[in-house]
Structure 1
Amino acid sequence: MASNSTDARVTVVGSLNMDLVVRAPRLPQPGETLAGHTFAQVAGGKGGNQAVAAARLGARVAMLGCVGADPNGAQLRAGLEAEGIDCTALDTGREPSGVALIVVDDASQNTIVIVAGSNGEVTPDAIARHEAALAAAQVVICQLETPPAAVRAALAAARRLGKIVILNPAPATGPLPADWLPLIDYLIPNETEAAALTGLTVESPDDAAQAAAALRAAGARNVLITLGARGLYAALDGAAPALYDAPRVAAVDTTAAGDTFIGGFAAQLAQGAEVDAALRFAQRAAALSVTRAGAQPSIPRRAELDALG
């Protein structure tokens, strides 16, 4: 059972973006102009989303990253601090803050284009300077929206410090370097990312099983492939592979569902939960998030899940 201990700590190493979100009837074709329904500007970035999710879902969280010396950067930092997230390791860089251009269609699917901006200024030196943030955590989360050298440095430092290490390989463009896999406790891609990592087609739970087997054969210890409404395929060390069905909900916007899952899973692990319970909790949190619009605005709080039973 997870506890509500204030000693449950998660450190997120990753990106912070200002999301510019347009809702449209469908995703545009190349060269096409569509009339959208609405526009919103909200805090996002995979690192920021996962930090907010972990904080709202029961952990004390620190954020290691970089924002710009611009209004977006000030807003991103203030938003994290309002969630109680420790921003001591959040640097201010020379480049403008990262942005993400997001189109969400009436079927709740999305396309996203990211401009890294100051996220590209996260370096191995920054990881070394802020190692205290890694040392203080039980769980360290990384993604791929910051430079690979910095991600590798964070994974290596977290492994050396004996932390539970989670990598969300997003966005994935190909296989991970072989020397990364031994540094990772939980590799958590979605279908598209699993396909990029393995070169396999991943369109069904059976496909996910093949991709997970390939990743484990390459050295990954535990592989969790998120499948959206079809659930989660879990290939865990020492356990039989399993498909976790997703809770049924009426989806409004799938943006940040994966980030909510990862943040919730990390928060539960930091609180001492068994892996099975942590996975089911994270699925419930992600399912609730897709019933709401936006990235960080959609992420639920622990009390909401507790109230639902």
Structure 2
Amino acid sequence: MAAANGGRDPGAEDGRRDLVVVGSANADLVVTVDRRPAAGETVLGSDLAVHPGGKGANQAVAAARLGARTALLARVGDDAHGRLLLDSQRAAGVDTGGVLVGGAPTGVALITVDPSGDNSIVVAPGANARLAPADVRAARGLLATARVVSVQLEIPLETVAEVARTVPPGTRLVVNASPPVPLPPAVAAACAVLVVNEHEARVLLEGDPAAGASGPEERARALLARGPQAVVVTLGAAGALVADRRGVVRVPSPAVTPVDTTGAGDAFTGALCLRLAAGDDLAAAVRFAVRVGAVSVTRRGAQGSYPTAAQLDGPTP
């Protein structure tokens, strides 16, 4: 399939990029509802809004808007949704040379948002399901330019495993285990940082006594025992916690009034990768990422809610 050329290459000057994201690109079809429907129930919602989304595309935009030299390896359809996604990446300054076009329709996420800002999401993977291990091998040179590589689980698990095998020594692999499925041991062992929310942590630990533990600290330690160098558990309005061989640290979130939580986890992960690429220690990177995530939930949509570095320098809402 053809690659999507024409994106600005932020890493061209010195041959290195802060971040290469390998993951999904979806069109988000969003409806706001007074309440989410029960089984068999129909409710009326707002007019349909269409936004660029997908965990991979979101993380790339979040990092690029904050100033990271970023590239995306993904697959979209040769359709209007695919063009929307490519335009959004390029507008944020992401290098789209690794985005493959064609073979299936662009992935779509069907999202309902309630008055509290909470959302429910169903994803039709489309072209994301066709991002194959061979595509990762063909992009070996792109991955070799990255200080950090981020991958999520909206693409085939065998493709994620190929990313773990392909990332060169000296490059940090961040795995955002969302949506959650059991990670192959080789992927867990390759993780510099495993990022999950509380629900995802429970799913990954299914069958482990720690899955029913009273607090996220115990679950983070159990995930750490499976091989990653560090685990970050996001806690929504409570912030996040960091677990590594030295212990567990909680990082609080600024208090904000949420409008829409869609894509907030991706804003967090993109910001985290940026600061890791800049050389921050993990706790400092998480403190920055928590602030970015807090800002993102005060605005509607996913990519459109992500702050620039200049906006982040202002007061937190």
Normalised to the residue count of structure 2, the TM-score between the two structures is 0.91
156, 167, 171: which one aligns with 1:163: 171
In 2, the alpha carbon distance for the partners of 1:251 and 1:75 equals 26
**Aligned AA for 2:188?**
L
> Does structure 1 retain, via aligned residues, the 8 Å contact 2:189–2:226?
no
What does residue 65 of structure 1 align with?
74
> Does structure 1 retain, via aligned residues, the 8 Å contact 2:24–2:74?
yes
Q: Does 1:99 align with 2:108?
A: yes
**Aligned AA for 1:31?**
G
In 2, the alpha carbon distance for the partners of 1:145 and 1:250 equals 29
What does residue 278 of structure 1 align with?
285
Question: Is the deviation greater in 246-255 or in 270-279?
Answer: 270-279
In 1, the alpha carbon distance for the partners of 2:70 and 2:229 equals 25
258, 262, 265: which one aligns with 1:251: 258
Q: Does 1:222 align with 2:221?
A: no
Q: Give the number of aligned pairs.
A: 301
What does residue 80 of structure 1 align with?
89
In 2, the alpha carbon distance for the partners of 1:279 and 1:202 equals 23
In 2, the alpha carbon distance for the partners of 1:30 and 1:201 equals 31
The Cα offsets for residues 123-179 of structure 1, whole Å up to 9 and x where unpaired, read as: 111001111211111000000000111111112211x34211100000013x21122
Q: CA RMSD in A?
A: 1.8
> Does structure 1 retain, via aligned residues, the 8 Å contact 2:161–2:184?
no
> Does structure 1 retain, via aligned residues, the 8 Å contact 2:240–2:252?
yes
In 1, the alpha carbon distance for the partners of 2:219 and 2:211 equals 7
The Cα offsets for residues 183-228 of structure 1, whole Å up to 9 and x where unpaired, read as: 1100000011101000268799x52111111111222220000010
What does residue 242 of structure 1 align with?
249
What does residue 212 of structure 1 align with?
220
Report how far residue 180 of structure 1 moved: 1.4
Unaligned segments of structure 1, at least 5 residues: none
- More RCO (CA 8 Å, sep 6+): 1
130, 141, 157: which one aligns with 1:132: 141
Normalised to the residue count of structure 1, the TM-score between the two structures is 0.93
The Cα offsets for residues 8-61 of structure 1, whole Å up to 9 and x where unpaired, read as: 520000000000000001111111111113421000000000000010112110
> Does structure 1 retain, via aligned residues, the 8 Å contact 2:161–2:186?
no
